[in-house]
Chains A and B, each alone.
Chain A
Amino acid sequence: MLQISKKWLAVLALVSGSAYAGSVSMISVSDSISATVEGISTASSTVGKSSAKLLNLAEGDYKVVDVAQAQEAGKLRLTLHPVDETAAGEGFYLYVVAADVEQAQIRQGDIVSAKLRPYGVAVFGQGKSSPFALVLDEAWRKQILPQAITG
Chain B
Amino acid sequence: MTWRQACLGVALALMLVPAGQAASWSYCDQPARANLVQTDRMLRFGHLVENILDETAAQAVVVSRSGFDLERFGLHYSHAGVMLRDEVQQGWSVRQLYFDCAAERPRIYDQGIPGFLLGNEEDLPTFISMVFLPPDEERRLAVQAHSKPVALSLLGQTYSANAYPFSTRYQNCNQWALELLAYAWGNISLEAPDRRAAAQGWLKAQGYQPTQIRLGPFLDVASWFVPLVNRDDHPANELAEGIVSLSMPDAVEDFVHQQVPAATRLEICLKDTHVVIRKGWRRLDAKCVAEPTDQVMQLQ
CB distance from B150 to the nearest CB of A (A): 11
Residues of B contacting A134 with CB < 8 Å? 36, 39-40, 43
CB distance from B79 to the nearest CB of A (A): 4
Contact indicator A27/B30 (Cβ below 8 Å): yes
How many A residues, CB 8 Å from partner?
A: 54
Least distance between B236 CB and chain A CB atoms (Å): 19
A119 to B161, CA, bound (A): 32
Contact of A2 among B8, B22, B99, B152 (CB under 8 A): B22
Give the contacts of B226-268 with A (CB-CB under 8 A): 226-229, 246, 248
Asked if B110 and A32 sit within 8 Å, CB to CB, the answer is: no
**Chain B interface: which of A51-59, A75-83, A139-147?**
A139-147
Residue in B30, B69, B106, B226 whose beta carbon sits within 8 Å of that of A28 in the complex: B30
Pick from A13-21, A39-47, A60-68 the stretch touching chain B.
A13-21
Q: Which residue of chain A has the shortest Cβ distance to B300 in the bound complex?
A: A118
Which chain B positions have C-beta within 8 A of A99? 33
A27–B16 CA distance with the chains assembled, in angstroms:
27
Inter-chain contact A140/B43, CB cutoff 8 Å: yes
In chain B, positions 73-110 with a C-beta closer than 8 Å to chain A are: 73, 78-79, 91, 93, 95-102, 106-110
Query: Could you tell me the distance in whole angstroms from the C-beta of B97 to the nearest C-beta in chain A?
Result: 6
Most chain A CB neighbours (cut-off 10 Å) among B27, B97, B102, B118:
B118
B162 proximity list for chain A (CB < 8 A): 15, 18
Using A1-B18, A4-B11, A28-B33 as known contacts, say yes or no to A14 and B228 having CB atoms under 8 A apart.
no
CA distance in complex: A149, B93 (Å): 12
Contact B73 A10 (CB under 8 A): yes
A contact residues around B148 at 8 Å (CB)? 149-151
User: Is the CB–CB distance between A16 and B110 below 8 Å?
Assistant: no
Q: Is A114 an interface residue (CB 8 A)?
A: no
Q: Counting CB contacts under 8 A, is B28 at the interface?
A: yes
Q: Are B101 and A131 in contact (CB under 8 A)?
A: no
Q: Which residues of B contact A26 (CB under 8 A)?
A: 115, 118
Question: Distance in Å from the Cβ of B37 to the closest Cβ of chain A?
Answer: 5
Per-residue A-contact encoding for B142-173, CB less than 8 Å = 1, 0 else: 00000011011000000101100000000011
Q: How far in angstroms is the closest Cβ of chain A from B164? A: 13
Residue among A20, A118, A147 making CB contact with B67, cutoff 8 Å: A20
Interface residues of A in 124-143 (CB under 8 A from B): 129-134, 136, 140, 142-143
What residues of chain B lie closer than 8 Å to A140, measured between beta carbons? 43, 112, 114
Residue among A10, A31, A143 with max Cβ neighbours from chain B (10 Å): A143
Given that A17-B7, A140-B43 are known contacts, is A2 also in contact with B67, CB under 8 Å in the complex?
Answer: no
B115 touches A118 (CB 8 A): no
Contact B218 A144 (CB under 8 A): no
A14: chain B residues at CB < 8 Å are 68, 70, 72-73, 213
B interface, how many residues as a size bin? 35 or more
Determine whether the beta carbon of B43 is less than 8 Å from that of A119: yes
User: CA separation between A122 and B47, bound complex, in Å?
Assistant: 15
* B30 engages A21 (CB within 8 Å): no
Cβ of B45 to closest chain A Cβ, rounded Å: 10
CB neighbors of A among B1-31 (8 A): 3, 6-8, 10-11, 14-19, 22, 27-28, 30-31
Q: Mark B102-132, 1 if CB is under 8 A from A, else 0.
A: 1000111111111100110000000000000
Question: Contact: B37 with A130, CB < 8 Å?
Answer: yes
Q: Quick check: B68 and A11 within 8 Å, CB to CB?
A: no
Q: In the complex, which of the residues B28, B67, B213 contacts A21, with contact meaning CB atoms closer than 8 Å?
A: B67
| A23: contacting residue among B99, B112, B149, CB under 8 A | B99
B222 touches A22 (CB 8 A): no
Q: Are A117 and B43 CB-contacts (below 8 A) given A32-B34, A142-B112? A: yes
- Decide if A12 is an interface residue (CB 8 Å cutoff): yes
Name 21 A/B residue pairs within 8 A (Cβ), A-sorted: A2-B15, A9-B8, A13-B69, A15-B162, A15-B222, A16-B7, A16-B10, A19-B27, A28-B31, A31-B33, A117-B43, A119-B43, A119-B44, A122-B40, A129-B37, A131-B37, A143-B113, A144-B114, A146-B109, A146-B110, A149-B151
For the complex with contacts A14-B73, A14-B213, A149-B95, 5 further pairs of A-B residues with Cβ separation under 8 Å are A13-B7, A13-B11, A24-B109, A145-B111, A148-B108
